[in-house]
């Protein structure tokens, strides 16, 4: 039980990687706050965790809204007494839209969910964790798009690069001079329903992605195992790192 006695908040936990992380954390002894924008999905995940003997509550949360973020963090502390792990997993795509065609609305929406949301959640979590004896761990689910230029559209790529930078800044400050470790995961292709949001891929953006060549696609549990490692004491000397989990896609 690598997370026994720990309390974890996982955003975007109603499906895909977030669900896999939440359920794996519960199996490893964590008390989990399942946060998502979809209440029906939340309830399904919470029920699954409880049916398997775990502890969980659900919180409807749009990470782009400060009041939802505050409620999410406060629910963890008020219900379970601490906040030990924050996984910023919620994210959206942008149809591979390139700079010349990105609308202000699309830019603001993608940056709001993928970067501002994790910032707001990390800010709230840090003010709890840094006052706890055992500190805490922040894990940001970024993307290989946060390391390269053609694994998404302009807004998506910018948001994930920003999330990597946010991770390193937290690690260099609150990790070096506080009690909080922060690391990021950079998945490649993963079999989740986020692909269903790619409704009208931009021709040039898709051409740039295709030029990188096809890569293997992971099962969400394979990313969840990386998130378990980063949340557990197995990684207690890992801070400010970005772990690629792309099956070797970007190694070619």
Query: What is the full per-residue pLDDT of the chain (252 aa) written as tens digits?
Result: 999 999 999 999 999 999 999 999 999 999 999 999 999 999 999 999 999 999 999 999 999 999 999 999 999 999 999 999 999 999 999 999 999 999 999 999 999 999 999 999 999 999 999 999 999 999 999 999 999 998 899 999 999 999 999 999 999 999 989 999 999 999 999 988 666 667 788 888 777 777 777 788 899 999 999 999 999 999 999 999 999 999 998 987
Q: Which two tokens stand for residue 42?
A: 């939340």
What pTM, to 2 d.p., does this model score?
Answer: 0.93
Q: Which of 156, 188, 230, 232 is catalytic?
A: 156
Crossing angle of helices 220-231/16-27, nearest 10°? 50
Is 156 in the active site?
Answer: yes
Give the single-character DSSP code of 246.
S
Residue spans of the domains in the chain: they are 7-251
Please tell me the distance from the alpha carbon of residue 135 to that of residue 10, in angstroms, as a whole number.
17
Among the CATH numbers 2.40.160.50, 3.40.50.720, 3.40.190.10, 3.40.50.300, which is that of 7-251?
3.40.50.720
Q: Look-up: residue for tokens 């609150």?
A: 174
The Cα-based distances of 220 to 16, 64, 96, 110 in angstroms read 6, 24, 22, 22
Task: Specify whether the CB–CB gap between 75 and 123 falls below 8 A.
Answer: no
The predicted pLDDT at position 197 comes to: 67
Per-residue pLDDT tens over the stretch 172-227: 999 989 999 999 999 999 988 666 667 788 888 777 777 777 788 899 999 999 99
């Amino acid at each position: 039980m690598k997370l026994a006695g720990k309390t974890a908040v996982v955003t975007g936990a109603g499906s895909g990687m977030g669900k896999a992380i939440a359920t794996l954390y519960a199996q490893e002894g964590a008390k989990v706050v399942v946060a998502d924008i979809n209440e029906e999905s939340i309830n399904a995940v919470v029920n699954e965790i409880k049916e398997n003997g775990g502890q969980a509550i659900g919180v409807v949360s749009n990470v782009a809204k400060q009041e939802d973020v505050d409620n999410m963090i406060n629910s963890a502390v008020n219900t379970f007494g601490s906040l030990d792990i924050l996984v910023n997993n919620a994210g959206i795509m942008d149809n591979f839209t390139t700079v010349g065609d990105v609308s202000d609305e699309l830019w603001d929406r993608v940056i709001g969910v993928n970067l501002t949301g994790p910032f707001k959640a990390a800010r709230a979590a840090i003010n709890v964790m840094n006052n706890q004896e055992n500190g805490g761990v922040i894990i940001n689910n970024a993307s290989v798009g946060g390391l390269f230029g053609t694994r998404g559209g302009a807004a998506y790529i910018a948001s994930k690069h920003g999330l990597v930078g946010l991770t390193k800044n937290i690690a260099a400050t609150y990790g070096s001079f506080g009690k909080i470790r922060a690391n990021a995961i950079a998945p490649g292709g993963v079999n989740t329903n986020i692909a269903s949001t790619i409704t009208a891929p931009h021709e040039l953006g898709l051409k740039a992605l295709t030029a990188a060549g096809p890569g293997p696609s992971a099962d969400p549990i394979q990313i969840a195992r990386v998130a378990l490692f980063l949340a557990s004491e197995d990684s207690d000397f890992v801070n400010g790192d970005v772990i690629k989990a792309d099956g070797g896609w970007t190694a070619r």
